[in-house]
Amino acid sequence: MAEIAGYKVYYGPSQGNYTNHVSISGGDTMQVTLSSLAKGTYHLVVTTLDVYGRESAHSQAVFGSV
């Protein structure tokens, strides 16, 4: 992949059901805060975006609870 221009963090109530996402500009950012989440379990994956707007495949899924 060409130079990283940003990331997308997809999240939702079950693996493969990512109903929301947050875009992160810039390749140097290594954290994001997901606020206003209701109590429950969330599954997350991350993709990278290159300078041409191409998006990578999803990372391996992780999950956590609020």
pLDDT tens per residue across span 5-17: 999 999 999 999 9
Q: Which of 19, 12, 6 is nearest to 44 (CA)?
A: 12
**pTM of this structure:** 0.87
Taking the CB of residue 38, how many other CB atoms lie within 10 A of it?
Answer: 7
Which residue in 44, 39, 52, 54 sits closest to 21, CA to CA? 44
What is the per-residue pLDDT for 35? 87
Strands (DSSP E) along the chain, which ranges? 4-12, 20-25, 41-50, 62-65
CA distance 41 to 59: 18
Q: What are the structural domains of the chain?
A: 4-65 (2.60.40)
